[in-house]
Structure 1
């Protein structure tokens, strides 16, 4: 401020220099606003803490209940361990999530082994087929009573109600919409190694497939918000839920190298977000932000593959 005063009063300095100094001061003033806001919040919180202690002291001057001593101990513990908690909190969440995902993977492999044993014979050629298949992979005979699949892609005891919807559910789990065998490649456009079905060859099927996932977004964001309000524990089911509902249907068909780049880019961003999940109020938005950013990144990558294939076909024509 003294420098600006000197510039304004000295006739030896050009007016343009004074204008530049004023602009610099204005810019610095804007940058100070966040610091002032944080300082004001800190001052308000400190005052609230002081008034609360004063009321507690007046109601229990001799600390017969021991509440004052307990609060002092709690403040000392938080002052010592608080920074460590904030630093290790994202690591703890990621470790717990990884453990849960490993358990789910083990459950999936075990269920797949049971599914192999539960194959049924085709009514026409007697070839063993999955009970979830819509048709035989050998003779293309229709399976009149295919079994439905659940949230995790495992066989349900009840039959399929909507055959068209069932085909989309199979593709979401990286399975052929005809014979229910698993696709082996990490690409949108590939052929089933068992029945030869061309995945995403029909543009209408591809468009509807993406549309089905898009219609889930609002519901998933609401559910993950409610989960995310619970520190640590709530974030784990939120991550698993949005990954199955919004991410996996696209991620399963992304090439490995591209998938790795997307995954690590999102991990860095999500790691920073998780550090604030403990904060009241804001913590509820952590999982929805993670869900939406992951969904958009993988969806865009999935659509780029579809678009590039269409361009290749147009070029050959």
Structure 2
């Protein structure tokens, strides 16, 4: 029998699987679930970047003691790299800062380049990350234009396969250890190919035996919101973070891309309407 949200005892302790929406931070999701279900003790087992979607594991009550154990398990991701362009954040959070030719690369050359990133490797996290430098988060320094040195660390990549090559896009599946940055893998693959690359899409599909297919959406959580006791007024009006408001996460470039895409779509729709033949009248 499949367990439904109504069967959970969040106060005693549960492991809850969530499918994180695009542009939401992991903390946004924790706060949303905590406020919606009125859970006193809750935390997440492994951060997902705002521009990543997929499996985010929340632990409540006594199950928060298992957070470290869950975080230590291997992760699986799927997504897309774009060859020929780099960004300072290694993803769409920041604007493209360099472009290089990529059309000369063959599928065989691209696939062969992945081999050097298999097994135990040294990887340098992105400057736009939550790594701490002298007590500050690296992304805080990066967003104010400060330079900082981040040390490489040892990570393990167990699987790195390319599932689609349609230049400049390359789809992938990666199985890796805790602490692996897929954005850094994009950067490193681009360096190995000599054309640069950055991450344009990322989905976390698995942590250990937990899978995104079994995760709940935030809409399902919202539907379970308990009624407020009669006579009890909220301390302050609820303010939900819009799905398309990325400013707090520093996603100005992504927001600009979305605005351009919407403008292009509206322009195309207007053009189609203007070109459409007039409907004859009686």
Report TM bin, short chain.
under 0.3
The higher relative CO (CA closer than 8 Å, separation ≥ 6) is in: 2
Structure with the bigger percentage of strand: 2
Please give the TM-score of this superposition, normalised by the length of structure 1: 0.20
Give the structure with higher Rg (CA): 1
Structure with the bigger percentage of helix: 1
